[in-house]
Amino acid sequence: MAKKKKIVNRNSGVAKLDAPKFGVALGIICAASMILFSLWVIFIGTGQQIIDLISQFYFGYSSTLQGMVLGAIYGFIDGFIGGYLFAYLYNRLII
């Protein structure tokens, strides 16, 4: 009697990520962190050097209301792109 080969599905039990939803979630987290960090600098007063460093990449970002909104927009865009690419690559690389 011949033995049957057992086919193993290496992907069983591994959930795929929904790339657009993952991108939106990470975008919201990044935008919220930019707002919270700006509020920290405004009310606590420490961390202005980090705001200056980030503003070299995010033009217009500062510890003002307008800068906070621009930082949140930049943070959302970067978070969305990074989260989307992460989830897309994760789904493509799991077998």
pLDDT (tens digit per residue) in 21-55: 999 999 999 999 999 999 999 898 888 898 888 88
pTM metric for this prediction: 0.78
Assess whether pLDDT exceeds 80 at residue 3.
no
Domain boundaries, given as residue ranges, for the chain: 19-93
Residues near 58 by beta carbon (within 8 Å), at least 6 away in sequence:
70, 71, 74, 75
For residue 74, the number of C-alpha atoms closer than 13 Å in the C-beta half-sphere is 17
Quick one: tokens of 57? 């990449």
